[in-house]
Amino acid sequence: MQDIDQTDLEILRLLQRNAELTNKEISGKLHKSVAAVHERIRRLKQQGFIRRTVAILDRKKVNRGLIAFSHVLLKDHSAHTLSSFENEVVKFPEVMECFQMTGTFDFILRIATEDMDAYHVFYRKLATLPNITTVQSFFVLSETKSDTAYPL
- Report d(CA 135, CA 107) in Å as an integer: 10
Q: Kind and range of the H or E element at 41?
A: helix 34-46
Per-residue confidence of the chain (152 residues) as pLDDT tens digits? Answer: 778 999 999 999 999 999 999 999 999 999 999 999 999 999 999 999 999 999 999 999 999 999 999 999 999 999 999 999 999 999 999 999 999 999 999 999 999 999 999 999 999 999 999 999 999 999 999 999 999 999 99
**Predicted local distance difference test score (pLDDT) of residue 2:** 75
What distance lies between CA 51 and its chain's CA centroid?
Answer: 12
Give just the sign of the alpha carbon dihedral 58, 61, 64, 67: positive
CB 105 within 8 A of CB 85: no
Q: Is the pTM of this model over 0.85?
A: yes
